[in-house]
Chains A and B, each alone.
Chain A
Amino acid sequence: MLASDLVNYGIPAAVIVVLCLSFIVYRSRRQAPGESLPSASDAAAAPLADPSLLASSNVPDSTTAHTADTSSVASTGDTVDEDSLEPAKRVESIGVTEVEAHGSTVESGEDEKASVRERTGRTRSLFSSAFASIRGKGKVDDTTWEELEETLLRADIGIGLTTKLLDPLRAAAKAGQIRTADDAINALRDAMTAQLATSQRSLNMDAATKPNVWLFVGVNGVGKTTTIGKIATAEVGHGTTVLLAAGDTFRAAAAEQLQVWAERSGAAFVRGSEGGDPASVIFDGIQSAHARNIDLVLGDTAGRLQNKSNLMEELKKVRRVAEKAEGTVNEVLLVIDATTGQNGLSQAREFAAATDVTGVVLTKLDGSAKGGIVFAIETEMGIPVKLVGLGEGAHDLVAFDPEEYVAALFE
């Protein structure tokens, strides 16, 4: 059956279903006068009979007229001193390299590496405890492979990638190249590191077309707003002028949350009206930054589930409109929660299709979750992981270092 047929038949089919349902409703009411169907009549009594209950994915109308009046542009504090702005000319990461260049706010590169290891301590211990039982065991046998597989699966690396990682090792074992369990563990570590070796992970900053614009996208609750707050803090600390644009006009009090971060970090702040058009807020933010010679605009967007096509369309529009403003969109960062399971792949696929994602920010890696889904995202989609969130503090966002990360898993 062709897709067009499905659409053609969809409406009649649904109408027939509705007819059948009418019939059932009618029958059940006629047959049982006074005697209610327990669950159903409870539901019927509920005052909240919203017809869109089934898949309610409604959003505030994105076509809401947006005028200059509806958006208030607020510069917080003394952060934007236009006279003293130095032209920032750099293409580098806010992580290690930049820290060395600027020296200040964020911990030194050495400390960061240490902190990745330290704070993913739980990850490491899970891996090492699993490996401990097979380490030192002379020969590779079925238990070795089972344990390796289970360990990878527990880290949310996924059955597909796990099989891809282990199959060549199994073959090597058969060929006699891998003899001991330790060999297998080392080979696995090398393979995982190799998977991540080639990506370019620096964040793009190009002062020639100021302001630089970084957009943050992702599903609900992954930590987009917090990530923006942390990046703003780090960048302002390096002397970059930053503006935060509150493109999340949907979630209650999202703009207030971002405003708190703007005040804390000393960044300028632009917001629109709640329920307003997010694209125009981002646009206004970029225009405002351009007028005030600000280096970097961090654009927040509302969390959205990737299967809500109308919301994904809205996001496409945000990206499109942002391109039209007087700045350069040079990063679209997909924020992924480290606890995310295999759904992370679907998130990456859909958000990349909608907005041309340039990198991943992995948040909440300081918990017990291992964030293994980013391996799958990077290897299968080629989207590099750029930053890692390791805590709630303003300085707990560091550059993603694959070697350190894999090493931490295997120590």
Chain B
Amino acid sequence: MFDSLSDRLQGIVKRLKGKGRLTEADVDEVMGEIRTALLEADVNIGVVRDVVARIREAAIGATVSQALDPSQQIIKIVNDELIAMLGGETLKITYASQPPTVVLMAGLQGSGKTTSAAKLASWFKSQGRQPLLVGADLQRPAAVDQLRTLGAQISVPVFSEPGDPVATARRGVDEAKRLGKDVVIVDTAGRLAIDEEMMRQVADISGQVSPRYTFLVVDAMTGQDAVGVAEAFHQRLSIDGVILSKLDGDARGGAALSVKTVIGRPIAFAATGEKIDAFEQFHPDRMAGRILGMGDMLTLIEQAEKVFEQDKAEEAAQRMLEGQFTLDDFLDQLQQLKKMGPLSGIMGMLPGMPKEMKNAEIGDDQVKVTEAIIRSMTREERANPDIINGSRRTRIAKGSGTQVSDVNRLIKQFLEMQKMMKRMGGMAKPQGKAGKGKAKVNKRQLMREVGDMLGGQGGIPGLPGADGSPGLPPFFK
């Protein structure tokens, strides 16, 4: 997601790298590039103008005040501007003191309201709430069927009745009270911002159900029109936040990002996949890091905390500290890896990953082949790969249905990993001690450590220096 914007910005940074001082001509050129990058990312033209002006001002000031690597300063300035543009802080969802908490979904046709409504219901469920979905899209054929199917998938009841959408929405809220549900999510029909009659209808719905949150669903692929649409909806409904849909595509999402600047409301959630639970609260600072290609270690760590089993993690950490690493460990880690989801997703969140690496499609097939090769080895061979001679290699290849060259490659890779693991174990130890006394874990510190372990000079999101070109672990070179 947002790949192209980060690619372009990284390109700019790469060229600035090594320049001791930026001339005014350099700044002009950089601003031109940033302008093009933002426009190609569909950032609203008005917003582009303001942002570029602010970055230029800050950049010129910065180059005058200090000669300390200006490229890093520019990155920091752009990063800060992006965070401001994306909405500063994460929107904190609160609940009505008198339940139910009513949430109204609105947006253009095809923006993803129905799917987002179900995803949001699933999210509320994960927060320990009991949501009810109300299908007030009586316009599109089978829209209510779609909502019912999705509701059944996540075991959330769906209320709808034919007739008038306004009345349906109101009765939906009554129904929630009757059933003792504490959250009501009202799905509405897609409508054009210039369709007066339909806009009046959704305003009526809003008047009837008094939503605590009104979310505008915006497709991440939208172009320049997004801002006008958001303004029009905001005028009628007083939008509280934006749900950014289809963010798992390769859209750069700039238009949606401009919405915050224009209507002053944050992006609350982002849909990152077709599955119901591919839906997250939006973290502006992390997203800025991703746009700049500085990675998103926080999300990665959270993901790991979610899926790793504690004892497995502990075992792996211990072995790493001892600098031990066998093929069995390799196999174990592959299992953990599979839980983390597709490799490309993991790579995208790492700081300082080269673009090719992020884009390389590393399929489950390759993981399977690797597993098959290791499983075809005897216990002895796994513990001590040095004994794997020619005839053993042939046997392993036959057993795993691969070529001897595949086996050779795997062993070579493993030996490299083992070397690296020893080095990392050494690095991790003292830092582990240093962190012991703290009552609370400092995640930024941990992230820095991982950056160090990967061999970089600390590819840390939110800090200059993690700009994609340096910090590349020797492993990848």
Q: Which residues of A contact B (CB under 8 A)?
A: 1, 3, 6-32, 35, 37, 39-41, 43-44, 46-59, 122, 150, 153-156, 158-160, 219-223, 250-254, 256-257, 259-261, 305-309, 337-344, 346-347, 364, 366-370, 372-373, 392
Contacts and interface: CB of A to CB of B under 8 A. Distances in A.
Interface range, B side: 35 or more
A21 B343 contact: no
Contacts of B53: none
B441 A28 contact: yes
B313 A32 contact: no
Nearest to B273: A56
B277 A35 contact: no
Contacts of B310: 25-26, 29
B278 interface: yes
Contacts of B346: 14, 17, 54
B221 A219 contact: yes
B441 A257 contact: no
B145 A3 contact: no
A122 B194 contact: yes
A27 B446 contact: yes
A368 B112 CA distance: 19
Contacts of B228: 368
B99 to A, nearest CB: 21
A25 B150 CA distance: 34
Given A41-B305, A54-B342, A366-B192, A341 B223 contact: yes
Given A12-B416, A31-B435, A56-B275, A46 B126 contact: yes
B441 A27 contact: yes
A16 B149 CA distance: 41
A55 B273 contact: yes
B224 interface: yes
B187 interface: no
A252 B255 contact: no
A164 B305 CA distance: 50
Nearest to A347: B221
B371 to A, nearest CB: 10
Interface in B429-477: 432, 435-436, 438-441, 443, 446, 449-450, 453-454, 473, 475-477
B306 A46 contact: yes
B339 A51 contact: yes
Contacts of B252: 341-343
Contact of B36 (A26, A159, A257, A308): A159
B79 to A, nearest CB: 20
Report the 8 A-B pairs with minimum CB-CB distance, sorted nearest first: A341-B223, A221-B110, A54-B345, A252-B149, A54-B341, A341-B42, A253-B145, A56-B273
A18 B221 CA distance: 32
9 contacts: A10-B360, A14-B337, A49-B306, A56-B272, A156-B224, A257-B142, A342-B252, A343-B221, A364-B109
Given A155-B224, A220-B112, 20 more contacts: A8-B409, A8-B413, A10-B360, A19-B316, A28-B305, A31-B436, A37-B440, A41-B305, A53-B278, A55-B273, A55-B341, A56-B274, A156-B42, A159-B39, A219-B249, A339-B226, A341-B42, A343-B42, A368-B229, A373-B223
A25 B305 contact: yes
Given A11-B370, A14-B347, A6 B356 contact: yes
B306 A367 contact: no
Interface in B231-268: 232, 246, 248-252, 254-255
B476 A153 contact: no
Nearest to B329: A19
B142 A256 contact: yes
Nearest to B353: A13
Interface of B: 36, 39-42, 45, 108-112, 122, 126, 139-143, 145-150, 153, 192-194, 219-226, 228-229, 232, 246, 248-252, 254-255, 272-275, 277-278, 298, 300-308, 310, 312-314, 316-318, 320, 330, 333-334, 336-347, 349-350, 354, 356-357, 360-362, 366-367, 370, 409, 413-414, 416-417, 420-421, 424, 428, 432, 435-436, 438-441, 443, 446, 449-450, 453-454, 473, 475-477
B122 A48 contact: yes
Contacts of A341: 42, 221-224, 226, 251-252, 254-255
B145 A252 contact: yes
Nearest to A126: B228
A259 B433 CA distance: 66
Contacts of B443: 28, 37, 40
Given A221-B109, A339-B225, A306 B250 contact: yes
B337 A15 contact: yes
A55 B446 contact: no
A340 B340 contact: no
A257 B140 contact: yes
Contacts of A159: 36, 39-40
A51 B337 CA distance: 9
A205 B224 CA distance: 36
A58 B274 contact: yes
Interface-centre pick from A259, A308, A339, A366 (highest chain B CB count, 10 A): A339
A369 B436 contact: no
B142 A260 contact: yes
B425 to A, nearest CB: 10
Contact of B277 (A19, A32, A53, A158): A53
B126 A47 contact: yes
A43 B334 CA distance: 23
Nearest to A310: B363
B430 to A, nearest CB: 13
A339 B219 contact: yes
Contact of A367 (B149, B192, B446): B192
Contacts of B149: 252-253
A270 to B, nearest CB: 17
A132 B172 CA distance: 49
B442 to A, nearest CB: 10
A368 B440 contact: no
B343 to A, nearest CB: 5
Contact of B306 (A43, A59, A160, A253): A43
Nearest to A338: B225
Contacts of B340: 18, 21, 51, 54
A37 B306 CA distance: 12
A35 B361 contact: no
A1 B356 contact: yes
Given A51-B307, A156-B225, A23 B428 contact: yes
A231 to B, nearest CB: 16
A368 B225 contact: yes
Contact of B40 (A55, A57, A342): A342
Contacts of A43: 302-303, 305-306
Contacts of A28: 305, 441, 443, 446
Contact of B110 (A16, A49, A337): A337
